[in-house]
A = this chain, B = another copy of it.
Amino acid sequence: MTRKPSLGGTEEEREMARWIEGHWKDQGLDEVHLVPYQVLLSYPSPDVPNLVRIIDSNDDKAIWVSAPKAEEPLYAEEDALPDLPFTFNGYAFPGNVTVKMSDVVYVNYGREQDFDFLESEGVDMTGKIIIARYGKIFRANIAEIAEARGAVGVVLFSDPIDYSPEGSSFVYPNSYFMPPSAAPFGTVKLVDGDPLTPFYPATESAFHIPEDEAQIPKVPVQPISPEDAWQILSRMGGEPAPAPSDWQGGLNFTRKADQGFQQKNLKLNLDVNNKNTPTTTYNVIGIIKGSVEPDRYVVLGNHYDAWIFGAVDPHSGTAAMLELSRLLMQLSKETGWRPRRSLVFCAWGAEEYGVVASLEWTEQFEKQLASRAVAYLNVDMAIEGNYTLRTKSAPMLYDIIFEGTKKIPNPNPEEVAGGRTTVYDTWAVRRPDTVQPGLPLMQFIGSGSDYKGFQHNIGIPSMDVRYTHDNVTLGEPMYHTLYETFALVDEIYDRGFLYHKAVTALWGDVAMVLSESKILPYSLEAYADFISRASEDIIKTYGDLIAQRNMTMEFFTEAVANFHKIVKDFTEELKQVDLENPLQVRKVNDQQMMVERAFIDPRGLPGRPEYK
């Protein structure tokens, strides 16, 4: 899976789809099919690289040019492929802009508050090229904010202070930290799914809106490596200007007052040659039919497209999924076991472009899923480190995950020797929940992967679990770069694939509990508690504003209290259910299944219909 790129919408992606389809057919799943969508994806030119140039205006010649693609130190044989794509950001607008020295602005992490600070200092963004650090907000938001404030180009880089904090010698292949030549890929489209069929599935017969109405950036955006970023930043000049101390990064430069180049004859050129392209991407769906409740679905999934080799993201997750389905089919063959509810395995296409094919699928099968799916279980990466478990989950699944982690042996022999025998033990110590002492930290499930359509558009309780690094860096350092190789996983992160095994076991355990339990063991009380904490946060954060505007939280507070009461009553009611009466069991399960659906408004938020 990691030997070649499988970029969304390419022939390589389709090859991977057929390969997964073949695996599931060989494993003997009851149904395997490919589901195509006609979507608009984005590619760099095959011939003309995206470049950033520093130009001397005296002779209009470039004195420096950024790397067309990450350089390829051949740390592992699978890096040695020719024809790797030029570095790019998905959906970055094609364009060639040149600005004079004084019109390049370093904007820190590119957050609203960063731009606000600059504007308060009198820096007008109109006509500027901005250079921003990756890592605090979604890169598409950096582009959006820059465009909204009038910038004409965006250059992105990963600051070594965040991604190689232990110095330039302790980087890949000596560690999992990012080498100076790495430039992470990534989409800059803000809205999930196919940009030309918002809210509707991109099937063959779909109506496509014109491309100029699509919610994609209208400015060129390009990622560069830290060493290339330094070429620009180090040439910035003028007097040092006061800036919040956290603006200083790891590239050993000082923000300057005039935000221009030291050498006044220099210009910066940003040359992006991407092309938005209609293409086909596939989901591969494999089903093990339930024997008792075939029309109740436990859905498991991960994407199989990758920016380049994707050994961490996504193939560590997809390998786990293929192994899990294999194990379950082996169990079925050896013992005759069949799941009570159907298990639906999903390998999603074009996730990297902004959750494209899974979102289209949830749009196409929204009504079936809304009435039948009991949970969606995602593992985007099985591992992005080996420090501890990291979970994102809907509160409805908390207890199932907690119980699961207590069953799974700790894959770290040192931890086991220290007395922490389960995944839970290490997790509770290394990622404690500061709000609920004694419990490990359960993060809320955002919208950053294929669970988006399930959790946030339909209201299907979802989770995403992985083994992760410690908290030193902002994210997996090699995320979306060329260096996410099999060697990184096999030699650095997970020698012997023990952490993969632990995550696979946890994934399988959660799926089995949801498939096999007569009464679905959702965490209603945890959900009520979660809502209470959230409501207290809202009141704490916005209480004064609400009071000033003569609004009341009374009904909200009452609704939260009511939710607690109903959970209590329902929990009592559950004890009375006749477990031998299938329709009584189904009734209380359906009631529980619909709890999360109750929080979805199909019309979306006012003015933001995509947020439901």
Contacts and interface: CB of A to CB of B under 8 A. Distances in A.
Contacts of A293: 583
A579 interface: no
A391 B91 CA distance: 54
A303 to B, nearest CB: 26
A602 to B, nearest CB: 4
Nearest to A292: B583
Contacts of A602: 602-603
A582 interface: yes
A509 interface: no
A590 B367 CA distance: 12
Contact of A371 (B199, B555, B556, B594): B594
A590 B594 CA distance: 15
Nearest to A555: B205
Given A582-B582, A582-B583, A602-B603, A590 B555 contact: no
A541 B329 CA distance: 54
A367 B293 CA distance: 22
A464 B57 CA distance: 80
Interface in A199-223: 199, 204-205
Interface in A560-612: 582-583, 586-587, 590-591, 594, 597-598, 602-603, 609
B367 A587 contact: no
A158 B199 CA distance: 46
A292 B581 CA distance: 10
Contact of A587 (B199, B295, B556, B559): B295
A603 B555 CA distance: 27
A240 interface: no
A436 to B, nearest CB: 30
B590 A295 contact: yes
Contact of A199 (B292, B559, B603): B603
Given A204-B555, A555-B205, A590 B294 contact: no
B603 A371 contact: no
A590 B294 CA distance: 12
A598 B583 CA distance: 24
A587 B583 CA distance: 11
A603 B609 contact: yes
Contacts of A204: 555
A467 B204 CA distance: 47
Interface residues of A, number: 25
A586 B294 CA distance: 11
Contacts of A609: 603
Contacts of A556: 205
A371 to B, nearest CB: 6
Contacts of A199: 603
B371 A590 contact: yes
Nearest to A600: B367
A242 to B, nearest CB: 45
A555 B590 CA distance: 35
Given A603-B199, A609-B603, A367 B598 contact: yes
Contact of A367 (B368, B583, B594, B603): B594
A200 to B, nearest CB: 9
Contacts of A587: 294-295
A597 B367 contact: yes
Interface in A161-211: 199, 204-205
Interface in A363-392: 367-368, 371
A588 to B, nearest CB: 9
Contact of A586 (B555, B583, B594): B583
Contacts of A295: 587, 590-591
Most B C-beta atoms less than 10 A away, residue of A559, A582, A591, A602: A602
Most B C-beta atoms less than 10 A away, residue of A199, A293, A371, A555: A371
Report the 8 A-B pairs with minimum CB-CB distance, sorted nearest first.
Answer: A205-B555, A602-B602, A582-B582, A295-B587, A582-B583, A367-B597, A371-B371, A367-B598
Given A204-B555, A586-B586, 14 more contacts: A205-B555, A205-B559, A292-B583, A293-B583, A294-B587, A295-B587, A295-B591, A367-B597, A368-B594, A371-B590, A582-B582, A583-B583, A602-B602, A602-B603
19 contacts: A199-B603, A205-B555, A292-B583, A293-B583, A294-B587, A295-B590, A295-B591, A367-B594, A367-B598, A371-B371, A371-B590, A371-B594, A582-B583, A583-B583, A586-B586, A602-B602, A602-B603, A603-B603, A603-B609
